Amino acid sequence: MTTLKDIAKAAGVSHATVSRVVNNGPKVGPVLRDKIHKLIIEMGYRPNANARALVTNKSTTIGVVIPDVSDPFFATLANGIDKVSRQQNMQLLISTGSLSAESEREAINLLLERRCETIVIHSKKIADDELITLFKAHPHFVLIDRYIADIKDRCVWLDNNEGGKIAARHLLALKHRQFACITSTFDIDDPKLRLAGFVDELAKANITFDSKNLVSAEPTLQGGEIAAQTLLASGQDFSAIFVYNDAMAIGAISTLEDNGYSVPKDVSIIGFDDVLLARYSRPKLTTLQYPIDLMAQHAAQLALRNSQEPRIATNKLKFIPQLIKRESTSTYFK
Amino acid sequence: MTTLKDIAKAAGVSHATVSRVVNNGPKVGPVLRDKIHKLIIEMGYRPNANARALVTNKSTTIGVVIPDVSDPFFATLANGIDKVSRQQNMQLLISTGSLSAESEREAINLLLERRCETIVIHSKKIADDELITLFKAHPHFVLIDRYIADIKDRCVWLDNNEGGKIAARHLLALKHRQFACITSTFDIDDPKLRLAGFVDELAKANITFDSKNLVSAEPTLQGGEIAAQTLLASGQDFSAIFVYNDAMAIGAISTLEDNGYSVPKDVSIIGFDDVLLARYSRPKLTTLQYPIDLMAQHAAQLALRNSQEPRIATNKLKFIPQLIKRESTSTYFK
DNA sequence: TTGAAAGCGCTAACAG
DNA sequence: CTGTTAGCGCTTTCAA
């Protein structure tokens, strides 16, 4: 590829001068400037970003650690970050670290080697302690979708617990009194927090959640189908189900309807996340919105701000899921 | 950040030696090697990828130009590339260039500056000529989702025309004789090719497609809803609709059902793409599968192979959409 | 087996 | 306004 020197040689000037015109630097004579500009176009010169990064110690790159690009949730997350990075003329470097501590660590390391300006990390598997150490060492890291008290001003997170409470209040207001829950088998905090919030809120209304009505499965559509089958087979009574996420909720609905139960007439269902699917399932799904796009944008802004001194953390860090009332929940009357 | 020199100083050796142990290079004494290894861990050394890229002229980066990370189609594309790049210890640099020639160009340039090992480009707006010139200048580029004859051994593409034909054959076999089409207003080739294939195949069966039954809208769910309304309002007769993509098809279905038409009983609908939604809509959508994940993997492999001499192009380049028969189409009988 | 030295392409003083 | 120079962190000969 053409380099600064090539241009300099062709123009009969020093490479410093060429560098100046490339960077619109301090005054260069208009004649020279024009001549060099022409040469740059003609010879198809493109500055080498690596060389630049090396000398300036800036990389115009924002790194993102996510488990999987194709998952709509993470795709939306990445997109949120991309939106703000484009505004700042930065680029997205994605490092996929799927759900093991080892691979998350590896993903972070790769980004570290790239000397990204800043890094937004979605990590569910690395332990709190390790993350805390890591974040102390790298002031430009930001954690998304997870709250750790010791580094709380660098966590952009959703209050899952509150989400569970909101779900409970919604169903309670609809006069439901017997509940079931479908949760995820994945060993992360989110399902526990959502469930705990839900159960706590029931308790406040003097309802003890019967753990026989709790079923776990994989957090997928199929998982939801299976969980609903289990629930049905158990012969327990319930008029409403709080489901870990929308995919499972939609799976559960299809099982229920296949078994002659109508949603919401016989059973109310509430999901979590508000993915695209939720809006177009039949019945349309009542759910709790996970504003991941917005959160990602905030995380990116925070990250960018943290990457430069002085660090000011005025960002919104904690997000509350919002109830999206659609058609899968209704008043209980029997 | 810690550098090679820091480690060298701490170990009392030259930085060349440290470089050797970092790269498992030619024999370094086992004692030294151990000592240095320890120091590397202790001091948290991470090689600077930019410096490395500069000197080796390799970047272990694979660039991707797509309009939008959050669109499930492109997210899947990116994921396909990510899969093969991970295998090769490469990383994904995403450059979003939305739907204007200028921004696509800009996205490519940014990747060029990064000296990516190779670049997979999804471009719908840059003219053929310009792309041809660009590709001649950069033998490591690969074009995805578009076919240009002059650079055909570097295009990984779907035969959209054939897709239209397959749709037509399917509906014809189901005894439909009166058709409508919903197409996209976006000024790219895909909708035209799909439609042309569809119409041509009808012609083979001696059916002239009535252009009054053709409606265009934005290629989104809402677009599909609107298009179906227009179709309904026109009062034309048809028993089957070939829709540009799944999102529009699902939108069309919801409009039809809201207006008292049952799918597929009254109207058969066939989509295109086979996105996730297609599998979980009600009725489940009959559609043509766009194997974008697979295509992206092939593109990445081709790209990687093209980035090193000698260039051998043994890859599969042309893909044919496959009919996925679900519930939204059925035999016509009236 | 190890070190010295050159240089990748660029920016940023510092001179002139 | 322009050139000279040093050096970013690293790999890679070439010597020792």
What CATH number is attached to the domain comprising B17? Answer: 1.10.260.40
Of B68, B91, B114, which has the smallest distance from its Cβ to A49's Cβ?
A: B114
* Sign of the alpha-carbon torsion through B318, B320, B321, B322: negative
Q: Which residues pair with B63 in a beta bridge?
A: B93, B119
The answer to whether the beta carbons of residues A238 and A179 sit under 8 Å apart is yes
Average pLDDT, chain B: 94
Tell me whether residues A94 and B82 touch, CB distance under 8 A.
Answer: yes
Closest protein residue to C7 using CA and C1' atoms? B55
Q: Do residue A35 and residue A183 come from a single domain? A: no
**Residue B97 belongs to some domain of the structure:** yes
Q: Has residue A126 been placed in a domain?
A: yes
Q: Could you check whether the bond before residue A283 is cis, i.e. omega within 30 degrees of 0?
A: yes
Q: Give the minimum alpha-carbon distance from A315 to chain B in angstroms, rounded to a whole number.
A: 23
Tens digit of each residue's pLDDT (9 = 90 or more) over B37-79: 999 999 999 999 999 999 999 999 999 999 999 988 999 999 9
A53 within a domain of the structure (yes/no):
no
Is the pLDDT reported for residue B334 higher than 80? no
pLDDT at site A1: 87
- Say how many Å lie between the first and final Cα of chain B, rounded: 76
CA pair distance B219, B272, nearest whole angstrom: 11
Burial of B26 (0-12, 13-18, 19+ CB in 10 A): exposed
Please indicate, yes or no, whether residues B234 and B296 belong to a single structural domain of this protein: no
Does residue A328 lie within any of the structural domains? Answer: no
Same domain, A246 and A192: yes
A152 and A297, same structural domain?
yes
Please tell me the predicted confidence (pLDDT) of residue A280.
81
**Does residue B37 lie in a domain region?**
yes
- A186/A75 same-domain check: no
Q: Is 0.85 topped by the overall pTM?
A: yes
Q: Which residues fall within 8 angstroms of residue B269, CB to CB, at 6 or more apart?
A: B240, B241, B243, B249, B252, B253, B256, B263, B285, B286, B328, B329
Q: Which of B68, B91, B225, B297 to mutate to test the interface with A (most CBs of A within 10 A)?
A: B91
The answer as to whether A324 is a domain residue is: no
The Cα-based distances of A93 to A293, B25, B298 in angstroms read 17, 28, 21
Question: Do B88 and B148 belong to one domain?
Answer: yes
Same domain, A138 and A80: yes
Q: Are residues B196 and B248 in the same domain?
A: yes
- The pLDDT score that the predictor gives to residue A59 is 92
Domains in chain A, number: 3
Q: Is the pLDDT of residue B315 over 80?
A: no
> Are B151 and B299 part of one and the same domain?
yes
Higher pLDDT, B279 or B195: B195
Which among B50, B91, B280 is the nearest to A50, CB-wise? B50
CATH code of the domain covering residue A64: 3.40.50.2300
The residue behind tokens 């012969």 is A235
Residues in chain B, how many? 334
Confidence (pLDDT) at A32: 87
Per the structure block, which two tokens stand in for B263? 């799918």
Q: Rounded CA gap, B66 and B125, in Å? A: 12
Report the residue of B57, B64, B70 to disrupt the A interface, i.e. the one with the largest count of A CBs within 10 Å. B70
Q: Which residues of A touch B276 (CB under 8 A)?
A: 72, 277
Pairing of strands A141-144, A155-158: parallel
A59: nearest CB among B50, B82, B110: B50
Q: Residue B332: what pLDDT?
A: 94
The residue that minimises its CA distance to C1' of D3 is: A14
Q: Which nucleotides in chain C lie less than 7 Å from some protein C-beta?
A: 1-5, 7-13
Q: What residues make up the domain containing A253?
A: 160-290
- Res A333: pLDDT: 83
* CA distances from residue A162 to A140, A174, A197, A244, B309 in whole angstroms, order as listed: 29, 18, 6, 14, 57
What distance lies between CA A259 and its chain's CA centroid? 35
Q: Are residues B184 and B134 part of one domain?
A: no
Other Cβ atoms closer than 10 A to A314: 8
**Kindly report the CA angle at B323 between B320 and B328, in degrees rounded to 5?**
150
Query: H-type helices in A205-315, by residue range?
Result: 221-234, 246-258, 276-280, 292-306
| B282 and B178 inside one domain | yes
**Burial degree of A42 (CB within 10 A; 0-12, 13-18, 19+):** exposed
In a domain, A326, yes or no: no
What is the Cα Rg of chain B in Å? 26
Question: How crowded is the C-beta side of A190, counted as CA atoms within 13 Å?
Answer: 20
Q: Which residues of A touch B (CB under 8 A)?
A: 1, 44, 46-51, 53-54, 59, 61, 68-72, 75-76, 78-79, 82, 86, 91-96, 109-110, 112-115, 137, 221, 250, 276-277, 280-282, 293
Tens-binned pLDDT, residue by residue, of chain A (334 aa) = 899 999 999 999 999 999 999 998 777 888 889 999 999 999 999 999 999 999 999 999 999 999 999 988 999 999 999 999 999 999 999 999 877 999 999 999 999 999 999 999 999 999 999 999 999 999 999 999 999 999 999 999 999 999 999 999 999 999 999 999 999 999 899 999 999 999 999 999 999 999 999 999 999 999 999 999 999 999 999 999 999 999 999 999 999 999 999 999 999 999 999 998 898 888 999 999 999 999 999 999 999 998 876 666 567 899 999 999 999 999 998 7
Q: What is the pLDDT of residue A311?
A: 61
A26's tokens: 């301090």
Nucleotide nearest to A52 (CA to C1'): C10
Whether residue A331 lies inside any domain: the answer is no
CA-nearest of A79, A63, A84, A206 to A142 is A63
Across the beta sheet with B268-270, what order do the strands follow?
Answer: B214-217, B179-184, B240-243, B268-270
Q: Is residue B188 located within the same domain as residue B299?
A: no
Q: Which nucleotide is nearest to A30 (CA to C1')?
A: D1
